[in-house]
């Protein structure tokens, strides 16, 4: 860029109203109001943009997030809603040298916590020597008694963790909380990075900003290194699609190439954990769990859990399974532990904490309780066991001052009777960082979540992080649920940084990737997703044909529309019911199936289906019958064919794709059998043949082939017997037969499987027939044989 | 006293369960000085495909079994010969309640018998406010009570009050009834009595745990038959300070546990010591029946 002489600071207009609060440190400006050196370059670059350009760039980042399907769930009184991802486009910048100090402190703390876990589930020296109160451990619901005495197979309790840190008024970093149970946010940090890098693409490429991919590659390789068998997958154990971080689980599974599993995908046999797959049980020896430990095994842990796998604990006990982090590690998140960490560090490591945690007083001890009583006005009070952030409203924390005034004498009573359940913590004054609001930068409080992964060479820290930014000046407004936002964090070096990718180093030999095994539940969901999507499309075509005729002056009580209306009703597409309800149900089923296999198809495919499902309601609401409805259905049909086009065009020809395709083919063939039996009946009213040809999307082909008006034989020929028409039953039966032959176990020692035999027999049975030999009874017979084929497929692969 | 004990517990499933994994805790415990399990035999029918023995956190012997084929019914049967010799209850050396907290605070142990496991709420025993109120009112903690009343006396008073206020009613509750519900209805069986007493004791700061076991079927001549002898029984143990230690009391019958009580397992609540724990993958209904016989052996 050409250097132009500058008399004034170019960033001045941008920072005109940027006024850090007195007594609060600010990331951007130093105590004298000067831009800190690490920000200078970026701020100058940002200041050169006009408002129009800023808006366009931000929109680019938001578009990326929408396309990637990143959203967050807002919980209100009437359930939850999906909201746009609240990215603060301006990242937080930290210099390499300062980052190094943070890393040293966090690595020390990670090692310390691993040692505490080893002691709490082993010798219990910390309790015996008085460094941790026995009663505090004893009352923690996360200290899992069945895990006592079990040493992890890997030798370590912690492999992946996160710390919440914040900067205090003196510029010092503090640890606000330890996250070891199932730390979330690493995937979101990655998405924030991609979005932010798009916003500032020209700057990001050449600035010395540390890249994130290397961290994920190390972690992936470390977990793979823990496997007892190199051909077995690493699993990510998720609570499922109803969890608010499920998106991240699916995202990270795709990014790392791990298998996304739910408790019911697993079973335990002789102490070994097995995945139920379409080819039978396959062992798994490493699970990165994203579910809380208590839910992992209903037999030995929380007996009410419906998310777990009975016998999982026994497998760990027998040394066949590594769970990351170890079951029971969640006890380390106990907030009252923060009060004891400085002493524990001295006791276990003979050195002070390099990075202090916020001062905490556990009210289960008399002197501490009295201290909190006397100083409550300057503290936050919260649950001793809760693991939420001190300023997070969901954690039930209240400012001591408010508690004091509102509760009055009750405050003393609560302290005296419930002391062990309470901690007092010093009130956190977080540093502020620039948020972009209404075209200006304003200071907002910020905390950082930093991620650490254990590798064979020790802990590696993700050189970036997940920054949370308050929605107002109040540090309490930091939670997303209360209007906070999130931001990327850049570690800026003075020197060029290495370019990192997820690809293995060039030195390693080329290995063609093995197709991952397909869990039974995933195959089942893909199959049904295929069926539901096809069912929705078929219903739309039938409804469009009906409304087209209604628009063409047919009276709703005409014999054709009555005949067709009954058929539609039988097929679940009753034209007299609100179309949004009729299609909403089947699309919702498709989405339910799809959302459980999100890791298995492309973001574009997901977006297309999600768009279809969410728009169907709006598009069809309050649309008049006849022509307006035809137009609305046209819009939706274009969308649904957009999705199926993506599947046909882009989806890898894996076994997963075959189950999806079999679902579509089977559904289409069954629907066509019903429709022909109904509309190509000798007694059907005039216009029925045209109706079914149109609903079967074959009007053009029919005209080209026959050049005569439709007769029963021409219609049955093109919709049932024509091997070249993708709308015909024969074509779909051929597809099913071919797919089934590619499924595992279709052939064994020269013999066909029962399923392959049934598929071939159905296909051959139709192939040798001509239209005149195919009446309604035959068609309905074929339909029930197709239903039996579906049952056989389910019995063979899907349970 | 020497006993022959037999118990048969049958679980039936409709529709049949496809597979299952269970933890069985039915064998009488070996407690040096108090109870000796001479022989114990657990049979499971149909025969499980996996079977392994281990000791759980609280020191109870458990057996884990697994099935991989469909089954409509499983029968668990235990036969055991036990010598129960309850030492005579000594003088009450437990401290007043005001000193118990100090005894607990100086205890630096997380061993299975440590009081620290038994003071907080546990999965099946929440410390609802009604239990605190009830315990205060009925355990000699009200107005005008002598300050020196001991922990053991409080335990006994609370147990007797529960016996007085509750109606023993086999049909009123199930194994999954919450103590709050049973207490509100003032009806229940030994499990409910015990959970209510545990909640009350913990609420006022006395560590309390759940004991599962058997009762002698027919009383010694001239004594009343004890309630709860027809199925597996449950009572309470309370920690009465560093010197007095654990003391067991049966609120269903308002007696201290004695020669007629045979211990199977110790835990925080029923969930820790249920005779058969296990989860079904199928969504059908599940029904269990048990039958118990505890007969003194003429030596």
Predicted local confidence at residue A798, as pLDDT: 85
Work out the average pLDDT over A701-707: 86
Chain A residues lying within 8 Å of B123, measured CB to CB = 302-304
Q: How many Å lie between the alpha carbon of A413 and the closest alpha carbon of chain B? A: 14
Predicted local confidence at residue A433, as pLDDT: 95
Contact B247, B162 (CB under 8 A): no
User: Does the beta-carbon distance from B110 to A129 stay under 8 Å?
Assistant: no
pLDDT digits (tens, 9 = 90+) for B25-37: 999 999 999 999 9
Chain A residues lying within 8 Å of B50, measured CB to CB = 269-270
Chain B residues lying within 8 Å of A270, measured CB to CB = 50
Predicted local confidence at residue A395, as pLDDT: 47
Chain A interface, mutation test: which of B58, B66, B114, B131, most A Cβ atoms within 10 Å? B66
Pairwise pLDDT comparison (B239 vs A68), residue with the higher score: B239
β-sheet bridge partners, residue B20 = B67, B280
Contact B159, B236 (CB under 8 A): yes
Predicted local confidence at residue A16, as pLDDT: 84
Look up the ipTM and state it: 0.94
Of B57, B107, B109, the CB nearest to A146: B57
Q: What is the CA radius of gyration of chain A?
A: 31
Q: Give the confidence band of A394 by pLDDT, cuts at 50, 70, 90.
A: very low
Of B23, B105, B110, the CB nearest to A137: B110
CA-nearest of A679, A721, A672 to A696 is: A672
Q: How many C-beta neighbours within 10 Å does residue A199 have?
A: 22
Pairwise pLDDT comparison (B118 vs A66), residue with the higher score: B118
Of A135, A264, A300, the CB nearest to B119: A135
Nearest CA in chain A to B283: A306
Residues 122-141 of B with CB under 8 A from A: 123
Is residue B175 within 8 angstroms of chain A, CB to CB? no
User: Does the beta-carbon distance from B21 to A303 stay under 8 Å?
Assistant: no
Alpha helix positions (H), B139-176: 151-165
Lowest mean pLDDT, pick from A116-125, A421-430, A629-638, A774-783:
A421-430
A165/A215 Cα distance (integer angstroms): 19
Is residue B114 within 8 angstroms of chain A, CB to CB? yes
User: Does the beta-carbon distance from B56 to A146 stay under 8 Å?
Assistant: yes
Q: Which two tokens stand for residue B299?
A: 């030596």
Contact B29, B67 (CB under 8 A): no
Of B52, B64, B110, the CB nearest to A127: B110
Please, which residues have CB within 8 angstroms of residue B124's CB and are 6 or more apart in sequence?
B178, B179, B195, B269, B270, B271
User: Does the beta-carbon distance from B117 to A298 stay under 8 Å?
Assistant: no
If you average pLDDT over each of A434-448, A495-509, A513-527, B44-58, which comes out highest? Answer: B44-58
Lowest mean pLDDT, pick from A132-141, A778-787, B9-18:
B9-18
Predicted local confidence at residue A283, as pLDDT: 94
Is residue B110 within 8 angstroms of chain A, CB to CB? yes
Contact A41, A95 (CB under 8 A): no
Of A127, A298, A317, the CB nearest to B279: A298
Predicted local confidence at residue B87, as pLDDT: 80
Of B57, B64, B116, the CB nearest to A314: B64
Predicted local confidence at residue A79, as pLDDT: 63
User: Does the beta-carbon distance from B66 to A264 stay under 8 Å?
Assistant: no
| DSSP run (H or E) holding A174 | strand A173-179
Lowest mean pLDDT, pick from A23-32, A77-86, A122-131, B242-251:
A77-86
Q: Does the pLDDT at position A380 exceed 50?
A: yes
Is residue B23 within 8 angstroms of chain A, CB to CB? yes
pLDDT digits (tens, 9 = 90+) for A723-738: 999 999 999 999 999 9
Contact A88, A306 (CB under 8 A): no
| DSSP run (H or E) holding A110 | helix A96-120
Chain B residues lying within 8 Å of A334, measured CB to CB = none
Q: What is the rounded average pLDDT for all residues in chain A?
A: 89
Q: Give the confidence band of A4 by pLDDT, cuts at 50, 70, 90.
A: very low
Is residue B50 within 8 angstroms of chain A, CB to CB? yes
pLDDT digits (tens, 9 = 90+) for A254-282: 889 899 999 989 999 999 999 999 988 99
pLDDT digits (tens, 9 = 90+) for A239-250: 987 777 888 898
Predicted local confidence at residue B281, as pLDDT: 42
Q: What is the rounded average pLDDT for all residues in chain B?
A: 90
Work out the average pLDDT over A312-333: 96
DSSP state of B82: E
CA A131 distance to own-chain centroid: 40
Chain B residues lying within 8 Å of A300, measured CB to CB = 23
Q: How many Å lie between the alpha carbon of A135 and the closest alpha carbon of chain B? A: 5
Chain B residues lying within 8 Å of A267, measured CB to CB = 19
Chain B residues lying within 8 Å of A269, measured CB to CB = 50, 66, 68
Is residue B102 within 8 angstroms of chain A, CB to CB? no
Predicted local confidence at residue A387, as pLDDT: 62
User: Does the beta-carbon distance from B116 to A300 stay under 8 Å?
Assistant: no
Q: Does the pLDDT at position A152 exceed 50?
A: yes
Q: Give the confidence band of A475 by pLDDT, cuts at 50, 70, 90.
A: low
Of A138, A304, A314, the CB nearest to B119: A138
Q: Does the pLDDT at position A464 exceed 70?
A: yes
pLDDT digits (tens, 9 = 90+) for A595-651: 888 777 777 888 888 888 888 888 888 899 999 999 999 999 999 998 888 888 888
β-sheet bridge partners, residue B285 = B14
Predicted local confidence at residue A159, as pLDDT: 98
Predicted local confidence at residue A393, as pLDDT: 45
Work out the average pLDDT over A296-305: 93
pLDDT digits (tens, 9 = 90+) for A614-629: 888 888 888 999 999 9
Q: Give the confidence band of A144 by pLDDT, cuts at 50, 70, 90.
A: very high
Chain A interface, mutation test: which of B100, B110, B117, most A Cβ atoms within 10 Å? B110
DSSP A395-417: GT-EEHHHHHHHHTHHHHHHHHH
A181/A387 Cα distance (integer angstroms): 10
Nearest CA in chain B to A132: B108
Chain A interface, mutation test: which of B17, B19, B20, B21, most A Cβ atoms within 10 Å? B21
Domains of chain B: 2-85+274-296 (2.60.40.2250), 97-272 (3.10.620.30)
A536/A541 Cα distance (integer angstroms): 9
Pairwise pLDDT comparison (B263 vs A709), residue with the higher score: B263
**Residues of chain B with confidence (pLDDT) below 50:** 144, 281-283
Nearest CA in chain B to A310: B21
Chain A residues lying within 8 Å of B107, measured CB to CB = 134
Chain B interface, mutation test: which of A267, A298, A299, most B Cβ atoms within 10 Å? A299
Contact A363, A419 (CB under 8 A): yes
Contact B107, A134 (CB under 8 A): yes
Q: What is the pTM of this model?
A: 0.86
Compute the residue count for chain B. Answer: 299
Q: How many Å lie between the alpha carbon of A275 and the closest alpha carbon of chain B? A: 15
Of B21, B109, B271, the CB nearest to A311: B21
User: Does the beta-carbon distance from B116 to A135 stay under 8 Å?
Assistant: yes
Nearest CA in chain B to A271: B50
Predicted local confidence at residue A749, as pLDDT: 80
- Count CB pairs under 8 A between chains A and B: 69
The strand order across the sheet containing A360-362 reads: A360-362, A422-426, A379-383, A398-399
Of A128, A139, A148, the CB nearest to B119: A139
Is residue B57 within 8 angstroms of chain A, CB to CB? yes
Q: Name the 3-class secondary structure at A604.
A: helix
pLDDT digits (tens, 9 = 90+) for A530-582: 999 999 999 999 999 999 999 987 788 889 999 999 999 988 899 988 998 89
């Amino acid at each position: 860029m050409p250097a132009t002489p500058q008399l004034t600071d170019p960033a001045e207009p941008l920072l005109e109203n940027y006024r850090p609060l007195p007594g609060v440190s600010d990331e951007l400006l130093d105590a004298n109001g000067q831009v800190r050196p690490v920000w200078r370059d970026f701020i100058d670059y940002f200041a050169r943009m006009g408002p129009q350009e800023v808006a366009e760039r931000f929109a680019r980042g938001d578009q990326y997030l929408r396309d990637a399907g990143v959203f967050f769930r807002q919980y209100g009184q009437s359930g939850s809603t999906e909201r746009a991802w609240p990215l603060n486009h301006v990242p937080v910048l930290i210099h390499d040298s300062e980052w190094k100090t943070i890393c040293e402190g966090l690595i020390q703390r990670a090692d310390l916590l691993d040692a505490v876990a080893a002691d709490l589930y082993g010798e219990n020296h910390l309790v015996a020597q008085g460094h941790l109160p026995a009663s505090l451990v004893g009352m923690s619901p996360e200290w899992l008694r069945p895990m006592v005495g079990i040493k992890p197979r890997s030798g370590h309790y912690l492999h992946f963790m996160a710390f919440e840190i914040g900067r205090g008024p003196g510029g010092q970093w503090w640890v606000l909380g330890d996250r070891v149970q199932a730390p979330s946010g690493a995937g979101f940090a990655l998405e924030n990075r991609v979005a932010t890098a798009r916003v500032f693409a020209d700057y990001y490429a050449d600035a010395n900003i540390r890249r994130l991919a290397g961290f994920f590659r190390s972690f992936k390789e470390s977990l793979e290194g823990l496997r007892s068998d190199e051909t077995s997958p690493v699993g990510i154990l998720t609570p499922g699609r109803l969890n608010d971080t499920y998106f991240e689980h699916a995202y990270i599974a795709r990014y790392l190439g791990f298998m996304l599993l739910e408790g019911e995908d697993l079973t335990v046999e002789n102490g070994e954990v097995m995945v139920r797959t379409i080819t039978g049980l396959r062992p798994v020896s490493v699970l990165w769990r994203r579910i809380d430990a208590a839910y992992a095994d209903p037999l030995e842990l929380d007996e009410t859990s419906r998310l777990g796998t009975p016998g999982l604990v026994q497998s760990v006990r027998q040394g066949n399974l590594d769970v990351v982090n170890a079951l029971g590690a969640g006890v380390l998140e106990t907030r009252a532990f923060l009060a004891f960490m400085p002493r524990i560090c001295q006791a276990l490591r003979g050195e002070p904490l390099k990075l202090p945690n916020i001062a905490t007083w556990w009210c289960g001890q008399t002197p501490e309780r009295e201290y909190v009583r006397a100083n409550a006005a300057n503290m936050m009070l919260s649950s001793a066991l809760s693991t939420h952030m001190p300023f997070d409203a969901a954690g039930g924390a209240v400012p001591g001052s408010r508690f004091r005034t509102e509760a009055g004498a009750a405050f003393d009573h609560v302290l005296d009777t419930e002391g062990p359940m309470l901690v007092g913590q010093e009130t956190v004054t977080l540093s502020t960082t620039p948020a972009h609001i209404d075209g200006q930068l304003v200071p907002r409080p910020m905390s950082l979540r930093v991620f650490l992964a254990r590798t064979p060479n020790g802990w590696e820290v993700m050189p970036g992080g997940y920054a949370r930014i308050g929605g107002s000046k109040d540090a309490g407004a930091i939670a997303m649920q209360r209007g906070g936002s999130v931001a990327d964090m850049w570690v800026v070096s003075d020197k060029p940084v290495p370019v990192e990718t997820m690809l293995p180093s060039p030195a390693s030999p080329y290995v063609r990737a093995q197709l991952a095994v397909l869990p039974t539940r995933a195959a089942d969901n893909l199959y049904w997703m295929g069926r539901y999507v096809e069912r929705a499309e078929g219903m739309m075509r039938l409804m469009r044909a009906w409304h087209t005729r209604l628009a063409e002056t047919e009276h709703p009580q005409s014999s054709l529309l009555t005949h067709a209306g009954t058929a539609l009703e039988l097929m679940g597409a009753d034209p007299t019911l609100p179309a949004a309800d009729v299609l909403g149900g089947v699309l919702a089923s498709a989405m339910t199936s799809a959302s459980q296999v999100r890791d298995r198809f492309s973001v574009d495919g997901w977006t297309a289906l999600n768009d279809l499902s969410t728009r169907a309601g709006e598009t069809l609401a309050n649309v008049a019958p006849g022509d307006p409805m035809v137009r609305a259905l046209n819009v939706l049909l274009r969308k649904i064919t957009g999705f199926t086009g993506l599947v046909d065009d882009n989806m890898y020809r894996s076994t997963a794709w075959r189950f999806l395709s079999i679902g579509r083919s089977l559904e289409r063939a069954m629907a066509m059998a019903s429709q022909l039996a109904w509309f190509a009946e000798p007694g059907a009213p005039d216009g029925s043949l045209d109706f079914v040809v149109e609903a079967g999307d074959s009007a053009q082909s029919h005209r080209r082939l026959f050049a005569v008006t439709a007769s029963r034989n021409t219609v049955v020929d093109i919709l049932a017997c024509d091997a070249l028409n993708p709308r015909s039953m024969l074509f779909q039966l051929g597809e099913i037969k071919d797919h089934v032959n590619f499924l595992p176990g279709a052939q064994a020692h020269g013999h066909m499987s029962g399923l392959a035999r049934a598929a071939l027999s159905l296909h051959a049975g139709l192939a040798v027939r001509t239209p005149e030999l195919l009446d309604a009874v035959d068609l309905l017979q074929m339909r029930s044989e197709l239903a039996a084929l579906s049952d056989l497929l389910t019995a063979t692969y899907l349970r | 006293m020497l006993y022959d004990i037999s118990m048969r517990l049958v679980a039936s499933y409709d529709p049949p369960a496809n597979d299952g994994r269970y933890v069985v805790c039915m064998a009488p415990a070996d407690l040096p000085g108090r109870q000796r399990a001479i022989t114990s035999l657990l049979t499971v029918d149909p025969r499980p495909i996996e079977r392994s023995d281990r000791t759980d956190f609280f020191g109870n012997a458990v057996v884990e079994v697994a099935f991989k084929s469909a089954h409509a019914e499983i029968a668990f049967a235990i036969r055991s010969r036990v010598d129960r010799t309850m030492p005579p209850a000594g003088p009450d050396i437990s401290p007043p309640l005001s000193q118990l907290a100090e005894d607990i605070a100086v205890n630096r142990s997380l061993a299975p018998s440590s009081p620290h496991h038994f003071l907080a709420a546990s999965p099946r025993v929440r410390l609802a406010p009604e239990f605190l109120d009830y315990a205060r009112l009925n355990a000699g903690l009200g107005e005008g009570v002598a300050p020196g009343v001991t922990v053991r006396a409080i335990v006994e008073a609370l147990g007797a009050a529960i016996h007085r206020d509750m109606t023993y009613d086999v049909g009123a509750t199930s194994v999954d009834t919450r103590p709050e519900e049973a207490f509100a209805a003032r009806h229940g069986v030994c499990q409910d009595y015990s959970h209510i007493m545990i909640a009350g004791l913990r609420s006022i700061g006395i560590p309390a745990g759940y004991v599962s076991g058997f009762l002698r079927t027919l009383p010694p001549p001239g004594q009343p038959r004890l309630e709860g002898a027809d199925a597996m029984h449950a009572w309470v143990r309370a920690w009465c300070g560093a010197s007095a230690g654990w003391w067991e009391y049966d609120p269903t019958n308002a007696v201290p546990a004695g020669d007629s009580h045979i211990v199977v397992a110790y835990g925080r609540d029923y969930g820790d010591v249920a005779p058969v724990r296990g989860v079904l993958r199928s969504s059908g209904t599940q029904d269990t029946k048990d039958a118990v016989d505890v007969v003194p052996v003429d030596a």
